Chains A and B, each alone.
Chain A
Amino acid sequence: MSCYIKKVSTVSPIGDLGENLNLNTFAANNFNAVEPDYKEVIANANLRRRMNRMLKMGTYAAMKCLADTDVDMMLTATSLGSISDTEKMLDTIYSSGETLGNPTAFIQSTFNTLAGNIAQLKSTHIPNVTFVNRGETVANALGYAQVKLSCDADNILYVSSDEKTELSETVLKKFKLSANGMYGEGSAAMILSSEKTGALAEIVFSKCEIDVMSALKELGIPMEDVEILDYKRWCGEYATALAFGVALAARMLEFGMFEGKTHVAIEHRYGHEISVVVLRKC
């Protein structure tokens, strides 16, 4: 099952990893995503205005990746989806005593709206699947991508996105999901391919309910060949943060930043959930 990362783009607390690696920029902004000028990829002003931040961040990263690439499948992933619109919809329900609706907020609360938006903007009829499996959703989607690339897809767009709101951050803090109490947000998109040419890195492992040491043992990779990436200091904690870690690791491998290492392991602990992705240098 060959699954190569060809390209990445992110909207993150340290910007678009596809453009720059600002690793000296520690998040002084409470791990809020640094949002780009969306006009570049979402030209329609009305659409931009309607879209919440989760959708804009995800659409931006996806469209950057798709700028010069055709794919035959799209996999999206999210934890809370368009949570800001979910809150707006609930607000309307209770403030109106169920007499008024908020169609835009309701529609955008649907978890696969990001996939629908991208399909419309690209006028593409390719199949898509949206994974919504909390802290395991990124590893699920990347594991599924490995399977699809081995049977009936050559190139896949992966994109995940999660936004934070005041309420969602309050709730996540109550659940103590972050070791350091810092909650982040952002999107990460990647072009995944069965073909190696020009690849940044290869995904050789993407599983849940396993820690990094067990994963490396399963793969039979000596520890001295592996860098374990501490990535959350750049993106903060959120359910789909693993995708940021994978995108970051791919770019760092591209730039040869792990001297003497052949692999990078990216572990994601989120509450009781744990998942691991391992990349191999190309």
Chain B
Amino acid sequence: MKILCCASSIVSVSGIGVGKCFDDIADADYSAKTLQYTNTAVDVPLREIPFSNEDIIRMLADDYNVELPSRVYTRAALLSMLTVADLLESAPSVDGKKVVVVNATTAGGMDKSEIFYRDFVADGDADIALVAGHEPADSTKHVCDLLKSRGADVVWSTTVSTACSSSAVAVGVGMDMLGNGNVDFAICMGVDPLCKFTINGFNSLGILSKNVCRPFDADRDGLNLGEGAASVMLTKDENIPVLCEVLSCETASDAYHQTATSPDAQGPTLAMKAALKKAGVDADKINYVNAHGTATPNNDESESTAMVNVFGEKVPPFSSTKFWTGHTLGACGVLELALSAEMLKRQQILPTRNFEKVERLTPVCKMEKAELEYIMTNSFGFGGGATSIIIKRV
């Protein structure tokens, strides 16, 4: 039985659309942008989605026919609905279909919870509506409601959170539920809005760059946080147009440290090897690796080690697209899966731009035409979770 990806959507610093994000990575001016909507005193570059919450509510109504009742919505809920509404534009109809939804996030509705907390501490009370969407499940419920309004029979839905590998893990859970049940489609997705909590948390760890990040560069000095929401639709139906086949999605635990990957990269190595084994693909068949490539000294060093562990001296062409999207945390796994599927379609490798000085491995630094049959995409996270996905051209 094949698991196929039949639709994808990205909401990112580029706005809405996989193609828009793809084209920007290839060509856009990647210098830091002035923030419009994110309220923080921390002075670092952030890759913000260029819409206010009010914009998103209006777009959902005007462009996607999703009318929302007047109430408090977290940014995660709005972005989740936006990516799924966009996904459905190019997806097969879900009307009357059995659908599984697996959403993923790290911050959930924290953007509103932190306002509640501020007011509660200051005044001894606060608007309870602000924390109604605190939990990660809130966004998922809104997505399920949207799908039900389009006639879908949502037979199973959940939310997972494994830090920065969250949505990659969501793909694995979705594949399992689709492959082993009476299910037509699995929608696997991830979302993370920018908020004070996340920005200050990463800042306290000292891993945010003051400049546009430089994945795999010898002088890299940290990551840029980004805002993102992304979704893919998986199916077993071989009779509908598809973007790619998803061969495997495997996870391993590094079991080393809560925020750092081990120097010998055990977790990432095991995840990549397990994904190859499950896919039934030899390492030398992989034409390109979409690296996690956060641009922290630790991640990129460890990921380089993992790639050498897995591929030996013949590390395939690889790159990280986070210099443009930023690190979208719980969204990055699916966001980069969608970009990887687009690379298969266009037979082009997206570059890591802003790379200058070689440390160990050199990523692809400019747009390249290539014969792409198999792509591996990696996501690693706090808590030691490492997930690798392998997709195949169809």
Contact = CB atoms under 8 A, between A and B. Distances in A.
Nearest to B106: A110
Contacts of A126: 252-253
A110 B259 CA distance: 10
A108 B259 CA distance: 10
Contacts of A124: 253, 255
A120 B270 CA distance: 16
Nearest to A207: B156
Contacts of A106: 197, 200-202, 204-205
A140 B256 CA distance: 28
A187 to B, nearest CB: 17
A117 B176 CA distance: 25
A98 B40 contact: yes
B240 interface: no
A217 interface: no
Interface string B6-31: 00000000000000000000000000
Contacts of B132: 175
B2 to A, nearest CB: 16
A23 B382 CA distance: 39
B137 A132 contact: yes
B120 interface: yes
Q: Which of A80, A90, A98, A112 has the most CB of B within 10 A?
A: A112
B204 A140 contact: no
A125 B176 contact: no
A221 interface: no
B169 interface: yes
B51 interface: no
A97 B42 CA distance: 10
B204 A103 contact: yes
B266 interface: yes
A101 B201 contact: yes
Interface stretch (B56-64, B159-167, B295-303): B159-167
**Chain A interface secondary structure, helix, strand, loop or mixed?**
helix
A94 B118 contact: yes
A102 B204 contact: yes
A146 to B, nearest CB: 9
Contacts of B287: none
B34 interface: no
Given A113-B258, A113-B383, A131 B120 contact: no
B161 A147 contact: no
A174 B172 CA distance: 37
A109 B383 CA distance: 11
Contacts of B201: 89, 101, 103, 106-107, 109
B137 A125 contact: no
A258 interface: no
Given A91-B121, A116-B383, A147-B177, A131 B160 contact: yes
Interface in A73-116: 74, 79-81, 86-87, 89-94, 97-103, 106-113, 115-116
Interface string B168-209: 010011001101110000000000000011001111110000
A97 B382 contact: no
B258 A116 contact: yes
A129 B160 contact: yes
B251 interface: yes
Given A98-B42, A101-B201, A133-B136, A123 B255 contact: yes
B256 to A, nearest CB: 7
Interface string B130-174: 011011111010000000000000001111111100000100110
B135 A107 contact: no
Interface string B254-290: 1111110000001100100000000000000000000
Contact of B41 (A97, A102, A167): A97
Contact of B252 (A108, A125, A131): A125
Contacts of B252: 125-127
A231 interface: no
Contact of A93 (B114, B158, B259, B383): B114
7 contacts: A80-B134, A90-B113, A98-B200, A101-B200, A107-B382, A133-B158, A144-B177
Across the A-B interface, give the 7 residue pairs with the lowest CB-CB distance, nearest first. Answer: A101-B204, A116-B383, A106-B201, A134-B137, A111-B161, A127-B251, A98-B41
Given A106-B202, A113-B382, A171-B131, 19 more contacts: A86-B197, A89-B201, A91-B121, A98-B200, A106-B197, A107-B259, A110-B258, A112-B382, A117-B258, A125-B266, A126-B252, A128-B162, A129-B162, A132-B135, A132-B136, A134-B138, A136-B158, A144-B176, A148-B176
